[in-house]
Structure 1
Amino acid sequence: MIEVFESRLRFLTHCSQRERLLAAAAQTVEARRIHQKLAQMYEREATRIDR
C-alpha cells in the first residue's frame, strides 16, 4: 500500500503512532524497547520541525 502524506510533520506523527502500536503489540521486552525508542526519535524530529 502506498501512502501519501501532506507534510513531513504528518509523516513523522504517523510513524510515531505506528511505532507506539508496534511497541504495545511486541512479543519481547527488547522489541518493545526498540519500537518505543523509534517512536521517541520520530516525536523529537516532529517537534523540531514544528517549531
Structure 2
Amino acid sequence: MDITLLALLLISMILFGLHMPYAVLTMVAIIALATVATRLSWSVLSAFESIEVD
C-alpha cells in the first residue's frame, strides 16, 4: 500500500472519530463484543473436541 493512501486513511479515521465520537464508540463496542463472542464460542467448541469418550 502506498504511504499516501495509508496517510489519507489514517487522517480520515481521525476526522471521523473527532466528528462522530459516539458512532466510533458504538462500532468499537460492536467489534469488541463480536470478538469476545467468537473467542468464547471457539474455546467452548475446542473443549468439547478434546473430551475423550471411553
Could you tell me the TM-score, scaled by structure 1's length?
0.47
Larger Rg: 2
Which has the larger share of helix? 2
Could you tell me the TM-score, scaled by structure 2's length?
0.44
Task: Determine which structure has greater relative contact order: mean sequence separation of CA pairs < 8 Å that are 6+ residues apart, divided by chain length.
Answer: 1
